[in-house]
Chain A
Amino acid sequence: MKVKVKYFASMRDRMGKGDEELELQEGATIADLWQAVSQEVLPENTLVAVNMEYTDLSHPLKEGDEVAFFPPVTGG
């Protein structure tokens, strides 16, 4: 299945890109996705969202999902 991945702020700097598309096995979770895109351990305070809703690393992905990784937010 294909998923879209987005990286924001310092996470985009770390990854060297803002987005990518990835082919994953059915049933893959966000933790599996991270292993496919990076050799490094995901920083502990990283926030993750699927289809613009906060979730956690155990979230199972579906075809066409949009996954985002980003650092703690600093708006306002």
Chain B
Amino acid sequence: MKIVVQEGLFDPWAEVAAYQRDHLPAGKHGGTVVFVGTMRDFNDGYEGIRAMFLEHYPGMTERHLEKVCQDAMERWDVLDCMVVHRVGEIRPDEPIVLVAVWSEHRAMAFDACRFIINDLKSRAPFWKREATPQGERWVEHNTQDPNAA
């Protein structure tokens, strides 16, 4: 399991490939499900958002994400999982979050990945502040996923 909260830009596809190469046992995983969250330049009726600043609660965030991944690994028969999440200043088209799950068969990886990202969006202590053409504002709530478990 790998949990990282970092300021720097990252390449989610390179992260997945490197982790898989270095940490997954050879010949055991049949499915990899990857979710990448990317910054949009529109949100909640605001257009032309130039950047956002992501704040977190250092310590609690990492601890919470570890627990969620452990819960997912107990609940579904998955081989491994990884979460990378950025903090600090982020610009449109940059990745914000990566969740990757490896399992023998696809269904468990899909379910575990959805569980992790839904929990992250509703419980992990991160907050977004957007720079809109009308000024800065705290994002007050995440968009509701109609299929959120």
Binding site for B on A (CB under 8 A): 6, 8-10, 13, 47, 49, 52-54, 68, 70-76
Contacts and interface: CB of A to CB of B under 8 A. Distances in A.
Chain B interface size band reads 20 to 34
B123 interface: yes
A9 B96 contact: no
A75 B57 contact: no
Given A52-B57, A68-B57, A71-B138, A76 B125 contact: no
Tell me whether chain B's interface is mostly helix, strand or loop, or mixed: mixed
Contacts of B120: 75-76
B125 A8 contact: yes
Given A8-B57, A71-B140, A76-B142, 19 more contacts: A8-B55, A8-B127, A9-B55, A9-B127, A49-B60, A54-B123, A71-B138, A72-B140, A73-B125, A74-B121, A74-B139, A74-B142, A75-B120, A75-B142, A76-B85, A76-B97, A76-B117, A76-B120, A76-B124
Contact of A73 (B37, B59, B97, B123): B123
Contacts, number: 76
Contacts of B105: none
A75 B63 contact: no
A70 B55 CA distance: 11
Interface of B: 37, 54-57, 59-60, 63-64, 85, 96-97, 117, 120-129, 138-142
Contacts of A49: 57, 60, 125
Contacts of A71: 127, 138, 140
A8 to B, nearest CB: 6
B138 A75 contact: no
B123 A10 contact: no
Contacts of A8: 55, 57, 125, 127
A28 to B, nearest CB: 22
A57 to B, nearest CB: 18
Contacts of A76: 37, 85, 96-97, 117, 120-121, 124, 126, 142
